[in-house]
Structure formats: C-alpha cells, structure tokens
C-alpha cells in the first residue's frame, strides 16, 4: 500500500521537482520561469529553486531568460530501459519480423491505464506512425493494450474500467465497457488481438502476449500496418505465426 500525500514520509520537494521536468514537452521546449510556474502550478519562487537546482546538476540549461531540458534527463528514463533485460532480448527478434514483412513491430507494457512502448522497429517504408520508446497510448484502443487487459484478473479489470477514460478517437473507436469486455474475452480465448481503424483509420494491428516462465503476460508484441498494405488474411496466416514465435523466444529468454 503506497503512502499518501499527507504522510510525513512523502517528499513533496521530489514530486514537485519531477513535475518541473515534465513541464517541458512537445511545443514547450523552451520555457521562461513564469511559464514553468504556470504549467507546474508552483509559485515563481518555488519553480525558480527547482530550475536552478536542476541546472546545477545538469538536467536543465538556461539561455537568457529561458530554460530547456538537457540530454542528461535521458539518463533517468534510460535507467529504466537499461534495467529491463526484456528490451535487448527482444530487439533482434523484432528486427527479424520487420525484415520479413516490412511492417513496424513494437513491444509494450501496461502502466496504469496506458501501454508504454519499450521497443520499436520501424519498417523501411514511410507509412508508419511517430511512435518511439516511451510513447504512451490508452490501453483500450491499442492492440498490445487489449492483450494485456485481457490477461488481468477480474478485480484488476474492474479497477481498470473504474479509472480508464474511454474516448472516441474516431468514429470506429469502441468505447462501450460492455463491448470492450466482450472483445477482451475473445482475445483471451483466441490468444491474440486484432485492431482495425479504431486507433487510426485505415490501420490494422495485431498483438500477442509475451509470457514469462510462470506464464504471466509481462508484455505484448505487435505488428501494425496500413490496411491497404496487408489484408486480414495476411495478418492471420503470415504475421501471427511470426509474432507467436518471437513472443515465445522472448518469453523464454527473460
């Protein structure tokens, strides 16, 4: 059971400092002190102390009156990637799949109500999505997410639906809890998920679970392609055996 904000052990300064790092984002690369304060909800004085501290240890750089993150910040996320042996085992096997089918192959884990991409091998052609390591997507509308949701215990799945925000990304996105539960049930039975249109119109993806030695699904691996480039039959006949084989080998290796 995690501690609460009110717990005397809760280090507010750390939480605030991490929120300052997360202020910087796409479209907000370079921020003034006032902007950081506004985005983090801190006073100017507090935001300033955090920025100066982050600058002192090399995570932020200052130029005139604006601050930006420095590449050292990658060390933090990298500590996670470096600590996950899965990643390195998976990469060559994913590359083999992409070599054979020239469509993108990704690996993700569940984190809260999202999947987080841990590895990705893009195809040679350019019809691909701007997904990279660290990208998050809502689990209910992602082939890998659905595979991992399908594996949850009943209580955990109830918990998921209590917190998930089911939004329509386009007219195809399924957002009904009842329908999603039925889909997850079928995925569990079939051993794979297939997603069409729901995330991006005209795109199809298929995912299978990666199970550890105790048969627990710890991650999921998928292939994603434009529907105009690969038929449903191709996904089932050609891509599925490749995915299952890679998932088996990765699972054995971890």
* Nearer to its own copies (CB atom), residue 58 or residue 202: 58
Among 69, 90, 107, 149, binds its own copies (CB under 8 A): 69
Q: Which stretch binds its own copies (CB under 8 A): 32-40, 90-98, 170-178, 193-201?
A: 90-98
Is there binding between residue 26 and its own copies (CB under 8 A)? yes
Burial tier of 102 (Cβ tally within 10 Å: 0-12, 13-18, 19+): middle
The nearest distance, CB 138 to its own copies, in angstroms, is: 15
Which DSSP string corresponds to 152-177?
Answer: S-HHHHHHHHHH-----SSTT----H
d(CA 220, CA 130): 19
- Contacts with its own copies by CB under 8 A: the residue count is 72
Among 33, 38, 81, 227, binds its own copies (CB under 8 A): 81
Phi first, then psi: what are they for 63, rounded to 5°? -140, 115
CB 40 within 8 A of CB 19: yes
Is there binding between residue 175 and its own copies (CB under 8 A)? no
CB 217 within 8 A of CB 110: no
**Interaction with its own copies in 102-131: which residues (CB under 8 A)?**
109, 111-112, 116, 118, 121-122, 124, 126, 130
Is there binding between residue 44 and its own copies (CB under 8 A)? no
Q: Which stretch binds its own copies (CB under 8 A): 77-85, 175-183, 202-210, 237-245?
A: 77-85
Is there binding between residue 68 and its own copies (CB under 8 A)? yes
Is there binding between residue 83 and its own copies (CB under 8 A)? yes
Is there binding between residue 77 and its own copies (CB under 8 A)? yes
The nearest distance, CB 113 to its own copies, in angstroms, is: 11
Handedness of CA 222, 227, 233, 237 (dihedral sign): negative
Count other Cβ atoms within 10 Å, centred on residue 131: 16
* Nearer to its own copies (CB atom), residue 148 or residue 247: 148
Burial tier of 251 (Cβ tally within 10 Å: 0-12, 13-18, 19+): buried
The nearest distance, CB 155 to its own copies, in angstroms, is: 18
Q: Where are the beta strands (DSSP E) in 100-166?
A: 104-111, 114-121, 136-138
């Amino acid at each position: 059971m995690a501690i609460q904000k009110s717990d005397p052990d809760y280090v507010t300064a750390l939480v605030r400092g991490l929120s300052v790092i997360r202020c910087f984002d796409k479209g907000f690369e370079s921020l003034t002190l006032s902007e950081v304060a506004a985005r983090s909800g801190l006073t100017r004085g507090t935001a300033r102390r955090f920025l100066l501290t982050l600058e002192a240890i090399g995570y932020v750089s200052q130029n005139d009156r604006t601050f930006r993150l420095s590449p050292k910040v990658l060390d933090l996320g990298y500590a996670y990637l470096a600590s996950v042996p899965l990643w390195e085992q998976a990469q060559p096997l994913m590359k083999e799949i992409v070599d054979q089918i020239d469509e993108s192959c990704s690996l993700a884990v569940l984190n809260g109500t999202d999947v987080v991409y841990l590895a990705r091998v893009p195809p040679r052609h350019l019809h691909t999505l701007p997904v990279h390591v660290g990208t998050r997507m809502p689990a209910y509308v992602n082939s890998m997410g659905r595979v991992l949701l399908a594996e949850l215990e009943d209580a955990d799945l109830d918990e998921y639906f209590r917190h998930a925000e089911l939004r329509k990304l386009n007219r195809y996105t399924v957002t009904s809890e009842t329908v999603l539960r039925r889909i997850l049930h079928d995925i569990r039975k079939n051993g794979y998920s297939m997603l069409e249109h729901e995330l991006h119109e005209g795109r199809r993806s298929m995912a299978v679970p990666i199970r550890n030695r105790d048969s627990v699904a710890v991650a999921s691996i998928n292939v994603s392609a434009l529907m105009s480039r690969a038929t449903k039959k191709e996904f089932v006949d050609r891509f599925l055996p490749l995915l299952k084989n890679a998932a088996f080998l990765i699972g054995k290796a971890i």
